[in-house]
Structure 1
Amino acid sequence: MSDVHSTEYNFKLKDALLGAQMLFVAFGALVLVPLLTGLDPNVALFTAGAGTLLFQVITRGKVPVFLASSFAFIAPIIYGVQTWGIPSTMCGLAGAGVLYAILSVLIRIYGSGMLRRVLPPVVTGPVIMVIGLILAPTAVHMAMGRTGDGSAWLVPNNTAMIIAGVALLTTIFASLLGKGWIKLIPIMLGIAAGYATSLILDATGFTAAQQAAFDPGQLQNWTAPALISFGKIAEAPLLEMPKFTFPTWNLEAILFIVPVAIAPAIEHFGDILAIGGISGKDYVKDPGIQNTLLGDGLATSLAACLGGPPNTTYSEVSGAVALTRSFNPAIMTWAAITAIVLAFVGKLGSFLNTIPVPVMGGIMILLFGAITVIGINTLVRAGNDLMLPRNMAIVAIILVFGIGGMSFDLIIVKLGGIGLAGIVGVVLNLILPCKDCNEPLPDEVNPSGPDHHTDL
């Protein structure tokens, strides 16, 4: 077996290009999170690379995974940045990483089954749904050419809908019909198609004509005769220190964001099982799920301490590992090094910031919808009867509290949104009587039992 196909850590210069290729697979999703949330893409690149290296230290270089920007935190980051600013939001995200570390300690004490008992699908499913749905209006506003809160026009509506539609449809068809590497990078292709469409609309004069005839109504008009300007790219230095942002203490942000970590903590199990199935090794036992979860958490806290989005194991990179059969964990070291080097390219961040808002809006429509569907699928695959009073109460309260905007003003902090929904779900699951609470659906409805939905 060659060094590339071996599961043993073997760091060699000849694997640098393969590592860069792995980063390319992750690149679209990696930079999408900071672009959607207002964070710095170059910082996200740096923290993805640094987080992956830290993960490898914690797991003793045994797991071939790459850590980068987590989609699960997009909604709370956007809300946090708008409400408290980036430094306070980073405090909450650092707390999410600490929760991972606490869970890893509990797993060492009580075993991996502990998470399933405290956080069953009846809690995690609706929490994931809330994450996807709470900022659905933001996606629609951006796809229509407005700011995320809908208060001002950035792009005329007709122009925006064309661009968002191209980006959205390209992403969908690349995911459905793509072969090989194409299927691994649908988001990147969608962004590229939307960007190319924007350039064409600018070059043909369509953008200027639409802007000249545009009626903004009662909203502020921040539109321009061109969608893309390369002036800032020309002004940006080739090499530049990433714009790190350090956290400031904010208890309210911690209580709002930390419960969001419940969902990705559960998903972490699936990711580690998946990469283990791909490489033929049981990483749950060695280096141990408690160590992989600790590595994920510390990488998230490290990212937050520098102003980057939380990290998570990337499924698309695992797919690339399966496709290339590159099981050597050292390849991910090269991917991390490449990410860190690119983080110091100043023109890269400036280029990414030229992407028009409707491009990201089109992607967000699919992204937030997909997160919601994942939450629904979590409930469906569990096979529990949601009409049982206990299950119905937990799911209903999580959804209404999260989507409806319920909040409580405590003595020193205000708790609401996703954070409140997650905390309430966990508490209800622990205190409500559990007689037959996880009873599967009747045979006539679900004839194959809980595993019937495995292939959905």
Structure 2
Amino acid sequence: MDIERVTTGIKRMFQGVQILFVAFGALVIVPLLTGLDPNVALFTAGIGTLIFQVVTRMKVPIFLASSFAFIPAITYGVATWGIPSTLCGLAAAGLFYVVLSAVIRVFGIGVVNRLFPPIVVGPVICIIGLSLAPVAVGMALGMDGGVQVVPVETALILAGVSLLTTLVIFTFGKGWLKLIPILCGIAVGYALSATLGIINYTKIVEEAWFSIPAFTLPEWNLAAILFIVPVAIAPAIEHFGDILAIGSVTGKNYLEDPGVHRTMLGDGIATFVASFIGGPPNTTYSEVTGAVALTREYNPLIMTAAAVCAIIFAFIGKIGAALHSIPVPVMGGVMILLFGLIASLGINQLVRNRVDLSAQKNIVIVSIILVTGIGGLFIPIGDFKLAGIGLAAIIGVLLNLAIPETQEVKAE
């Protein structure tokens, strides 16, 4: 046996574990917040990453995992139609990516920029974060599904400590530590919760070490499709930014080779497969891009190792049980920062692209998207209704195409 080859393999596996460690906190939060199974999310992150690598010919060092953009849609869908029907809508969102990749291949990326410019995508991303604000605050106050599960005084202490830890690591952390603020915040909050004796370890003890993840198949539901698919517009556009970011780190133009149509196709198929077996939609992780920049290790095989590790961890039942034991206020404290950051990313889209908000067209589009999205406007379509973030995104696209370019808003 070639010792050097074995050594290289062990090194890559260790690097893969590091990548998974960086992505882990954000990866498991989505299923924990939406009622999906975290072990399934681990499995679909691994499978999704491998699918992405096959489609992109092993050229892009990216790890795919749970997308935060779909949290409001999943939460509403699960409460309204149940998990199987919601998965149908999420799988359709994956197919939307596939269609978008075909459009890019035929017409070029310019048509996508025309349909989904920053003036539309920016406020839609803002809505994603702002619509989740009540959820974060409620959890920080110790409430779960409208029920007070932890006394308010205790909940505020746990949420405050978790939030402060996350803030400190996010602001002052160095090296690898800076890449895992969410994980650090949850870990410190969990430790304090254990000290206060409010963690129930029963399920952790009872759960087997080896356990098949709770895979769930989708059920056809047109209402869920109409509600969820438009939500995919924002993360689809963010995909381009993520590909540009990893390209700037590695010094390669992935928009040309393997081509953004291939990266979008890989993301779409990965999301479809993930949703088809009960996992959240996939997306590229900026934390992993930061890890690649830090280590200067650009070999996509490291992401392969991370994907294999994620699949292995998915079959460790006690991991899921331990994740479900995290107290609600701990999650709430971390979510206050995280959901605020999502809203800030939407603002950043407008700033970075120098969108002129003194122009009448732009201010009209932003205003209507924000109010319709946050206000909960819906359009009934027979027995279905188009609502929420998806409706706001569609309205933004139509307004951008219909309203002619205008001059600056004149002062009164």
Give the TM-score, by structure 2 length: 0.95
Q: Which string of whole-angstrom CA distances, capped at 9 and with x for unpartnered residues, describes residues 101-122 of structure 1? A: 1111111111112211111111
**Alignment match of 2:340 (pick from 369, 373, 379):** 369
Structure 1 equivalent of residue 317 of structure 2? 346
Aligned to 1:248: 219
TM-score computed with the length of structure 1 as normaliser: 0.86
CA contact 2:359–2:406 (8 Å) conserved in 1: no
Residue 159 of structure 1 corresponds to: 154
Give yes or no for the alignment of 1:85 onto 2:82: yes
Tell me the distance in 1 between the aligned counterparts of 2:10 and 2:106: 40
Find 1:268's aligned residue among 225, 231, 239.
239
Give runs of aligned pairs for residues 209-224 of structure 1, distance below 5 A.
none
CA distance, structure 2, for counterparts of residue 322 and residue 182 of structure 1: 14
Give the whole-Å Cα distance in 1 for the aligned partners of 2:53 and 2:387: 35
**Would you say 1:282 and 2:253 are equivalent positions?**
yes
- Aligned pair partner of 1:181 in 161, 176, 179: 176
Name the CA distance, whole Å, in 2 between partners of 1:435 and 1:316: 39
1:10-44 superposed Cα distances (whole Å, 9 cap, x missing partner) = x9454211111111111111111111111111000
Please state how far the C-alpha of 1:381 moved relative to its aligned partner: 2.2
Q: Which amino acid aligns with 2:65?
A: A
1:259 is the counterpart of 2:256: no
Identity of matched residues, %: 63
> Where do residues 301-316 of structure 1 align in structure 2 (5 Å cutoff)?
301-316=272-287
Q: Give the whole-Å Cα distance in 2 for the aligned partners of 1:14 and 1:128.
A: 38
- Per the alignment, residue 451 of structure 1 pairs with none
**What are the superposed Cα offsets for residues 344-363 of structure 1, whole Å, 9 maximum, x if unpaired?**
00111001110000011111
Residue 126 (str. 1) matches residue 123 (str. 2): yes
Mapping of 1:401-412 within 5 angstroms? 401-412=372-383
Residue 435 (structure 1) shift: 4.9
| Cα distance between partner residues in 1 of 2:364 and 2:191 | 48
SS class of match (1:68) = strand
1:55 aligns with 2:49: no
Q: 1:145 aligns with which of 118, 142, 147?
A: 142
Q: d(CA) in 1 for partners of 2:356 and 2:248?
A: 30
Residue 247 of structure 1 and its aligned partner are, at CA, apart by: 0.8
Residue among 370, 378, 396 paired with 2:349: 378
The secondary structure found in structure 2 opposite 1:105 is: helix
Please, which of 143, 164, 168 is the counterpart of residue 169 of structure 1? 164
Match of 1:76 among 54, 73, 82: 73
Distance, in Å, in 2 between the alignment partners of 1:366 and 1:89 is 27
1:197 aligned partner: 192
2:283 match: secondary structure: strand
- CA distance in 1: counterparts of 2:22 and 2:323, whole angstroms: 17
Give runs of aligned pairs for residues 36-55 of structure 1, distance below 5 A.
36-55=33-52
Which one of 103, 106, 110 corresponds to residue 107 of structure 2? 110
The whole-number CA distance in structure 2 between the counterparts of 1:373 and 1:56 is: 30
Give me the whole-angstrom Cα distance separating, in 2, the residues matched to 1:366 and 1:185.
14
Q: 1:376: Cα distance to partner?
A: 1.3
Gap runs ≥5 in structure 1: 1-10, 203-226, 443-456
Find 1:330's aligned residue among 301, 313, 322.
301
- Counterpart position of 1:206: none
1:299-319 deviation digits (Å, cap 9, x = unpaired): 111110011111111111111
The 1-side partners of 2:266 and 2:195 are apart by 45
The residue correspondences of 1:225-240 to structure 2 (distance < 5 A) are 227-240=198-211
Distance 1:256 1:275 in 2: 31
Q: Which amino acid aligns with 1:93?
A: L
Matches within 5 A, 1:380-419: 380-419=351-390
Q: Which amino acid aligns with 2:387?
A: G
Distance in 2, matches of 1:354 and 1:61, equals: 37
How many residue pairs match? The answer is 404
Letter in 1 for 2:351: V
Deviation, structure 1 residue 421: 0.6
What residue in structure 1 maps to residue 21 of structure 2?
A: 24
1:295 aligns with 2:262: no
Q: CA deviation at 1:388?
A: 2.2
Gaps of 5+ in 2: 1-7
Higher-Rg structure is 1
Greater helix share, structure number? 2
Contact persistence 2:142–2:150 (CA under 8 A)? yes
Residue identity opposite 2:68 in structure 1? F
Give the corresponding residue for 2:288.
317
